[in-house]
Every structure is written in structure tokens, then in C-alpha cells.
Chains A and B, each alone.
Chain A
Amino acid sequence: MRPKTEAELVEAVAGATGPLLLRGGGTRTLGHAMGEVLETGGLTGVELYEPGALTLVVRAGTPLAEVDRVLAGERQRLAFEPPDLRGLLGREGVSTIGGVLAANASGPRRVQAGAARDAALGVRFVDGTGTVVKNGGRVMKNVTGYDLVKLLAGSRGVLGVLSEVGFKVQALPEAEATLVIEGLSDEAGLKALRVALGSPFDISGAARHSGRSLIRVEGMAGSVAYRTGQLRDRMGGEVTVAEGEASAALWREVRDVVPLQGKPGEVWRIATLPTAAAEIVAVLGGEALWDWGGGLIWLLLDPGRGAEVAAAVAGRGHATRVLGQGGPVFPPEAPEVAVLAAGLKAKFDPRGILNAGMMG
């Protein structure tokens, strides 16, 4: 099914007789849900775009690329830098903006500008009973009633199917530059990222892979030059600086996890404390790409290491297996929290038809 309007989406959900497998573009779906495919890719178009208010409201099936194009036309962008995971996960298809929010998909700039959830201003969605619900809106400050926008962000469709999403957007910076630091051990290279993030120089990216640490600053040209210089003075190792498009290319690689693409094995996505980032990889081995100053690890491992990953991360984060066959994908929740999550799913989707079984 591929509804073209919210009314058709309501009909599709209300009239469903069995489980539904929800799909934006299918480019970042995880987990084991089964059912009749319900695509949102037919719900396209910009509802409202006010560049002067940094506000964009679009229908959920609008391709991410189209959103990027519309924003670029006004020299703006989504601040949270959503990754394109098609290369990593081996998917075809067109990423949709609704899928981005449903996965809370956020890239390197999260350390500075927050995640997709933080940029989201409003949602409309169709719950499992076929009822349209709206929450939030188009303004940046809104504490009217409970915040279902955050709840729906990252919910992977299990509470409702997004039909419309609103975001706070960001002006494109005048300049960007990246310090590329080589010749440091993983431990020292990750420490350099933490030093940068603890400085007043407003870092918008802090990552490490392939033996190089990357530190990005963005903003007005003079300011970028100043901060690059200040950071350079504080860093050990061999430092070079990439500017403009050369810098941007480095961050597309990080964002889309290019170094791990197409390699045999399983890929884990580990959220942790930056100070634990080197040790977790030292314990588990494998090939790593660290983002968010070490707070996010993409780790390529041989299959069947799930129990070891869970043990290495226990008490200091959580791990999701984004690529691999069989077995659990999402980390388990504490029993009391799982009761609440199950309670919410039962309220919003009493028939249990929306991406049933996806989140474990």
C-alpha cells in the first residue's frame, strides 16, 4: 500500500486486517518486523517553509534529498546532518524525511546541534487505531501539553505512522575547516577529540577512523580561521587543515560510515561515554569508526559476538546491531522500562499491527 494523502493513510491503517510493515524508503529499517508493506513515500510535499523563521514543515514521505535541495535553495540545511546508510546496509531506495525522524537519524553535528529529535518541532501521525494525532507545531519553543514529538522521534513506527514533520533548520555556514591529525594512537587520538570538545571553540564534528582524528569548526570565515589556529596550537601529532569542499567530503565519509561499507562481518552501533570509547574497541577488536568525540562507535566485527559486545558496553551505554543475520538487533531494556514501553504500544496500537516485533 502506498497512500498519497493522510486520509488514505488513515484508511490503510484503520482497514488493515493484519500486521503492517511500515516503510519510508526502506533505507535504514532495522529489526525483524513482518507484515504487509505500507509505504509513506506517496505523502510528499512542502507544507510550509519560512527561511526567516528557520522553519520547515513537510509531508513525511518527502525524500530527504528533496528536503536538502529545498533548503539549499535558501542557503539552509538540516542541522543534525542525517546519515545516508544505504552504502553501509546495502540498501536501495530513497530515504524519506519521516524515516529520518522515525529513526532519530543524526550525524556528526549532533555533538553541537543536537539530534533529529532536538530539531523536530512538530509531528502529525496516524496511530494504530487509524486516528490522526498532532503534537508540537512550527514554533521553536512549545511546552503546551506533553511532548509526543520526542516520543515519536526514534520510535520506528511502533506508536504511529508519521504523516507530517516540522523541523527547525539552520543557515549554511560561510566557511568550514577540519583539522586532520595523524600519528596518534587510538587512545591519544580520541583524547584529542575530548580536548577539542571541552574547548570554547564550538566544535561541530569530532571523529576518528583509519588512524586519523578529525575536528571540524564551522561559521563566519574569520572565526573559522581563528578557531582552527587556536585548536592547532593545542593538538599533538601531525596536523593538517582541510577547508571548504575538502572538509565537507571528510564528513560525508564519517556521516555515512564509508570506511566500513561493503566489508564482510557484522556492524554494531554503540552509544557510550567518550572516555570508554578506546577501551571498548581495544577489548572487542575489529575495525572502528568513532564519531561524537567517541560517544558513538561504529564497529565491524565477525558474526556471533553479540554477548561480548553487550558485556563490553554494560553500564556505560548500549549497542545496536545494524548489520548482520538473525539474533537480536536492539539492546534489551530494563524490565520496569520495558513495561512502560509495552504499555504505550498497547495504548497507541492496541491491535499490535505497527511494525510488530521490530524493537524486540
Chain B
Amino acid sequence: MPAPDQGVIARKARIVARLRSVLPADAVIDAPEELRAYECDALTAYRCPPLAAVLPRTTAEVSAVLRVCWQEGVPMVPRGSGTSLAGGAMPTADSVILGVARMNAVLETDYENRFIRVQSGRTNLSVSGAVEADGFFYAPDPSSQLACAIAGNIAMNSGGAHCLKYGVTTNNLLGVTLVQMDGTVITLGGPWGEPSGLDLLGVVCGSEGQLGVVTEAWLRILPKPEGARPVLVGFNSNEVAGACVADIIRAGILPVAIEFMDRPCIRATEAFAHAGYPDCEALLIIEVEGSEAEIAEQLGRIRQIALAHDPVEFREAADEDQARRIWLGRKSAFGAMGQINDYMCLDGTIPVSSLPHVLRRIGEMSRDFGLDVGNVFHAGDGNMHPLILFDANKPGDLEKCEAFGAEILKLCVEVGGCLTGEHGVGIEKRDLMAVQFAPADMEAQMRIKDVFDPKWLLNPAKVFPLATTATRRAG
């Protein structure tokens, strides 16, 4: 991280006093032992306590806080629930953390116009929870959905297992209330969904909290399908599994999810969760939705396509319990790998057609680096999740793991993909940005930040390589 501004640190007492003057007493945290809770997010390898943390309850309070920080020249790090795997909410020693956790109200639910308006600290799953009884749901479903906040989902443009059919956050976000760094409150978009003028909402979504603080959001809600059911298909080669995925997509069947696990991952989850998966090279879990008859129609077609690829197993779920068991191993995959060792999870995306090649190369690299890796990912959209195992207590292992991870991500870019499909760049991948983007491409992105946040105070040191932003941050 860049060296903190010692001038800001020296003025801590004054800054905290000013924050206290605009917020209720319990909304400002400055005791070192309490600030430890904010020293990192889910990327726990890096830690740094912030100068202070604030927990506002309203847009007006957020605006007042930002105005103080803007006047004082204090960097500001917005934080949803702190589940970022990329260090997206990692503080610097001279920064104030703005946590939205207390802003979790549902402000409006409108079924006829199919939207919900929430404060941004509300958790992803509880958005669906608020409309579930009336037969609706909010589609993006990141695997951290029990904990992660809508604010963070918007910042990272989060995806999930079901976005093959329903899209990611940006496709389900209708509008936001955004507080700019100088405290100005603006509305972008609205419940009607159609942009007017430049689509600023589109660029705010996925900007990793660097353009403003989202305090409220209009989200698209959808009627729940009548039912859903998975099938499990095992193959003796990654190539064949990949070809099966392509054939299903080409046939015009649109499953809501196509998940892929490779042998190391299958073995680990079997040992951990005993889901009864076949011992094979590659495994697909394909889920379809609709009425009983519609599910049967789609699964019949999928069965026909899969059998043409000579699978070692094609397992349908006869009832709810069997369906649950099919998902059990997939849902336990991260926990199972964590049982074996520490792991780093990447999320580069590749063209689906490159799947066999990329998996082969990852296997070769795994041998070269001497670190095991398991692959579990969203196959329908090419979003990989290689889990690299390492021992955090073994000197040099973390560095080796990071180097291996970087090689995998470079490979993703090389075959036409990208560094990150849903986790975001954060601090974790910022120095790899030059692998994917030419200087002019990054310059174009940084111009956006120049306009929204001219002092470069919002969520510093994320997304762009430090050397690239040095002159702007100094300004």
C-alpha cells in the first residue's frame, strides 16, 4: 500500500472530533482495539487498521461525513459487509472506513412495477427475503449472499451461480442514490430502468467504490419460477465435459446454472461432504427451472445431448432430497478445500471454448509450482474459480501461491478472457491490470475517476497499479 499521509494521521483528533460533530455518538469509532475489526476484509493476508470508522444510518449522515473528509483531505474507504476476496475494502492508515451496515432498511416494495428500493447495507439474501413470501426474488446470488451487502454487490458488480440466465448486478440494478466525495447527493437511474443521457449508473456499478458512496438502490425483482431441479453428469475428460456445455448452450436450452468441478475438487468435496459424487475427471451440475412438465422437457433434451458424449454417469434428482445432495458437494467445495489447507481463490473468466486448454495448463503449472489446485466454476459463462492450496504458516508459500495465481490470470487474459469475472480487482489484482489493458485503456478509466473524485480520495490504492496512479493521488 502507498505510504499514508502523515499530516492526516497527525490530525486524527481533529478529524474524529469533526466526524463526531456531524454523527450520533455511537456512529464514530476511533479506539484502536475497536478499529481492528476493520483492518481487512475477506482477503485476510493483508491488514491495516484505519484512522477511524463511521457507521452512518442515513444518506444525510453519509453526506455530512464525506463533506468533512473532503474538506480535511482524508481518504475514504466505503465498506459493505467486508466479504471482498480482492481487498476491495482494505483500509489505509490515513483513511476513514465508512461502513453501511446500519443502513439496512427496505424503503419501498412495488410488485406491479417489479422493483424494490433498499438502503445499501442490506444483505443480498435479505433482499430476496423481503419479497419471497409474495413470490418474488432478487436474482444476483454471490456465494457470500448471506453476509454480503448490496453496497458491495454494486461496487463489485457481483455475479453468482445463476447469472447465466439472469445476468449480474448491473443487469438488475435500476438506479441508485449516490453521495459524491464532496457530499453532493445525486440520483442516477430510477425504477423505470431506462437510462437518460449518459449511462452513469452503468459505470458506477463495478467501480469498486471509487466514484461515490451508494446509499440506496432500486433493484429489479423477478417472479419466482414454479420450480427448479439439477442433474449431475460425470465425464472422464475435461474436454468432453466442455464440449457438452457448448452443445447444451448451442441447442438453445438456457439452464439457470451450469457448474463444473474437476477431479481434485471432486475428491476433496467427497472426503469432506460425502455427497456421493462419482470419481471421475470432470463433473457438471446443470439446473433448469419451470413447471414439472417444463423441467422434464428441458432435462430430456439435456439428457439426450449429454448421453451423446458418453458420460460415466447421468444422475437425475427424483425428489427434493436427491436434488439437495447433487448441490451439496458443489456448495461445500470451498469449505472442503479449506479443510485440506489455506487456499487462494481466483476468478478469471475465459471463453468457454478455451476450457480444456486452460485446465491442462493449470495442471502443468500446478506441478511446476508444487502447489495443488482444484477447479470449480460457472462453466456456462466461463467464470473460473481455481482454488490454489498453500500453507500460510510455511515461509514463502503465500508468495509462491500469489505467483502461481498471477500466472493463471495471465493465461486467462492470453486466451481472450479477463483477470476477474466477479470478485473485482481491489488490491489483489491491481498490479496485473497492465496484463489486460494498454496504458490508454487504463487512462480512459482513470479519467472517469478524475471527474467523479478529482482529489482521488475515494477507496485509494485499488483497481489501478500504484505506479500508474501516483501522480493523480499526489494531486
List A residues at the B interface (Cβ < 8 Å).
50-55, 74-75, 104, 114-115, 117-118, 127, 131-135, 137-151, 153-155, 158-159, 171-174, 194, 197-200, 202, 219-220, 222-223, 226, 271-275, 295-296, 316-318, 320, 330-331, 333-334, 336-338, 340-341, 343-344, 347-348, 359
Cross-interface CB contact of B156 among A52, A143, A202, A271, cutoff 8 Å: A143
Distance of B456 from chain A, by nearest CB (Å): 14
User: Is B10's beta carbon under 8 Å from chain A?
Assistant: no
Provide the residues of chain A in CB contact with B383, threshold 8 Å.
Answer: 139-141
1/0 per residue B204-240: CB within 8 Å of A?
Answer: 0111000000000000000111100000000000000
Provide the residues of chain A in CB contact with B463, threshold 8 Å.
Answer: 145-146
Provide the residues of chain B in CB contact with A153, threshold 8 Å.
Answer: 199, 202
User: Is B21's beta carbon under 8 Å from chain A?
Assistant: no
- Decide if A348 touches B444 in the complex (CB within 8 Å): yes
27 contacts across the A-B interface (CB closer than 8 A): A53-B353, A54-B249, A117-B199, A118-B167, A118-B170, A131-B440, A139-B381, A139-B383, A139-B417, A140-B383, A142-B349, A142-B418, A142-B421, A145-B463, A146-B445, A155-B198, A171-B253, A200-B223, A223-B297, A271-B194, A336-B184, A337-B186, A337-B197, A341-B200, A347-B450, A348-B444, A348-B447
Provide the residues of chain B in CB contact with A104, threshold 8 Å.
Answer: 195, 199
Provide the residues of chain B in CB contact with A272, threshold 8 Å.
Answer: 192
Q: How far does the alpha carbon of A54 sit from the alpha carbon of B198 in the complex, in Å? A: 27
Cross-interface CB contact of B193 among A147, A219, A295, A338, cutoff 8 Å: A295
Q: How far does the alpha carbon of A338 sit from the alpha carbon of B200 in the complex, in Å? A: 11
1/0 per residue B340-371: CB within 8 Å of A?
Answer: 00000000011111000000000000000000
Provide the residues of chain A in CB contact with B328, threshold 8 Å.
Answer: none
User: Is B143's beta carbon under 8 Å from chain A?
Assistant: no
B424-454: which residues lie under 8 A (CB-CB) from chain A?
424-425, 429, 433, 436-438, 440-445, 447-452
Q: How far does the alpha carbon of A200 sit from the alpha carbon of B382 in the complex, in Å? A: 28
Closest chain B residue to A127 by CB distance?
Answer: B444
Provide the residues of chain A in CB contact with B201, threshold 8 Å.
Answer: 150
- Decide if B112 touches A275 in the complex (CB within 8 Å): yes
**20 extra interchain contacts, Cβ-Cβ under 8 A, other than A139-B416, A171-B251, A198-B223?**
A50-B352, A52-B353, A53-B351, A53-B382, A131-B443, A141-B159, A143-B159, A143-B422, A144-B436, A144-B437, A145-B436, A145-B437, A145-B442, A146-B207, A147-B157, A155-B199, A197-B114, A271-B196, A295-B113, A330-B196
Closest chain A residue to B243 by CB distance?
Answer: A52
- Decide if B444 touches A336 in the complex (CB within 8 Å): no
Task: Number of B interface residues at 8 Å Cβ cutoff, please give it.
Answer: 93
Most chain B CB within a 10 A radius of its CB, from A140, A154, A158: A140
Q: How far does the alpha carbon of A198 sit from the alpha carbon of B197 in the complex, in Å? A: 29
Closest chain B residue to A140 by CB distance?
Answer: B381
Provide the residues of chain A in CB contact with B294, threshold 8 Å.
Answer: 219-220, 222-223, 226
Q: How far does the alpha carbon of A141 sit from the alpha carbon of B159 in the complex, in Å? A: 8
Closest chain A residue to B200 by CB distance?
Answer: A340
Cross-interface CB contact of B382 among A115, A140, A149, A172, cutoff 8 Å: A140
Distance of A205 from chain B, by nearest CB (Å): 15
Most chain B CB within a 10 A radius of its CB, from A132, A144, A153, A347: A144
- Decide if A337 touches B200 in the complex (CB within 8 Å): yes
Q: How far does the alpha carbon of A187 sit from the alpha carbon of B195 in the complex, in Å? A: 26
- Decide if B114 touches A143 in the complex (CB within 8 Å): no
User: Is B190's beta carbon under 8 Å from chain A?
Assistant: yes
Cross-interface CB contact of A334 among B187, B290, B442, cutoff 8 Å: B187
Q: How far does the alpha carbon of A81 sit from the alpha carbon of B139 in the complex, in Å? A: 22
Closest chain B residue to A74 by CB distance?
Answer: B250
Most chain B CB within a 10 A radius of its CB, from A115, A222, A331, A338: A222
- Decide if B192 touches A344 in the complex (CB within 8 Å): no
Provide the residues of chain B in CB contact with A139, threshold 8 Å.
Answer: 349-351, 381-383, 416-418, 421
Closest chain A residue to B212 by CB distance?
Answer: A340
Q: How far does the alpha carbon of A359 sit from the alpha carbon of B301 in the complex, in Å? A: 49
User: Is B304's beta carbon under 8 Å from chain A?
Assistant: no
Q: How far does the alpha carbon of A331 sit from the alpha carbon of B423 in the complex, in Å? A: 36
Q: How far does the alpha carbon of A198 sit from the alpha carbon of B444 in the complex, in Å? A: 40
Provide the residues of chain A in CB contact with B202, threshold 8 Å.
Answer: 117, 147, 149-151, 153
User: Is B419's beta carbon under 8 Å from chain A?
Assistant: yes
- Decide if B298 touches A359 in the complex (CB within 8 Å): no
Provide the residues of chain B in CB contact with A174, threshold 8 Å.
Answer: 252
Provide the residues of chain B in CB contact with A118, threshold 8 Å.
Answer: 167, 170-171
Distance of A296 from chain B, by nearest CB (Å): 7
User: Is B291's beta carbon under 8 Å from chain A?
Assistant: yes
Distance of B3 from chain A, by nearest CB (Å): 25
Closest chain A residue to B295 by CB distance?
Answer: A223
Cross-interface CB contact of B186 among A54, A135, A336, cutoff 8 Å: A336
Cross-interface CB contact of A194 among B112, B186, B192, B194, cutoff 8 Å: B112
Cross-interface CB contact of B451 among A134, A171, A172, A347, cutoff 8 Å: A347
Q: How far does the alpha carbon of A318 sit from the alpha carbon of B191 in the complex, in Å? A: 11
Closest chain B residue to A54 by CB distance?
Answer: B249
- Decide if A148 touches B192 in the complex (CB within 8 Å): no
Distance of A116 from chain B, by nearest CB (Å): 11
Q: Do A154 and B199 contact each other (CB < 8 Å), given the known contacts A200-B135, A223-B294?
A: yes
Q: How far does the alpha carbon of A114 sit from the alpha carbon of B112 in the complex, in Å? A: 18
Closest chain B residue to A273 by CB distance?
Answer: B113
Provide the residues of chain A in CB contact with B424, threshold 8 Å.
Answer: 143
- 3 smallest beta-carbon distances between A and B, as pairs: A150-B202, A171-B252, A52-B246
Provide the residues of chain A in CB contact with B203, threshold 8 Å.
Answer: 146-148, 150-151
Q: How far does the alpha carbon of A95 sit from the alpha carbon of B193 in the complex, in Å? A: 25
Cross-interface CB contact of A199 among B194, B197, B223, cutoff 8 Å: B223
Distance of B133 from chain A, by nearest CB (Å): 14
User: Is B168's beta carbon under 8 Å from chain A?
Assistant: yes
Q: How far does the alpha carbon of A318 sit from the alpha carbon of B196 in the complex, in Å? A: 7
User: Is B254's beta carbon under 8 Å from chain A?
Assistant: yes
Distance of A136 from chain B, by nearest CB (Å): 8
Q: Do A154 and B437 contact each other (CB < 8 Å), given the known contacts A118-B171, A144-B425?
A: no
Provide the residues of chain A in CB contact with B163, threshold 8 Å.
Answer: 141
Q: Do A141 and B421 contact each other (CB < 8 Å), given the known contacts A174-B252, A220-B297, A222-B297?
A: yes
Provide the residues of chain B in CB contact with A134, threshold 8 Å.
Answer: 437-438, 441
Distance of A13 from chain B, by nearest CB (Å): 14
Distance of A356 from chain B, by nearest CB (Å): 15
Q: How far does the alpha carbon of A197 sit from the alpha carbon of B420 in the complex, in Å? A: 34
- Decide if A316 touches B417 in the complex (CB within 8 Å): no
Q: Do A52 and B444 contact each other (CB < 8 Å), given the known contacts A143-B157, A340-B452?
A: no
Most chain A CB within a 10 A radius of its CB, from B192, B224, B254, B436: B192
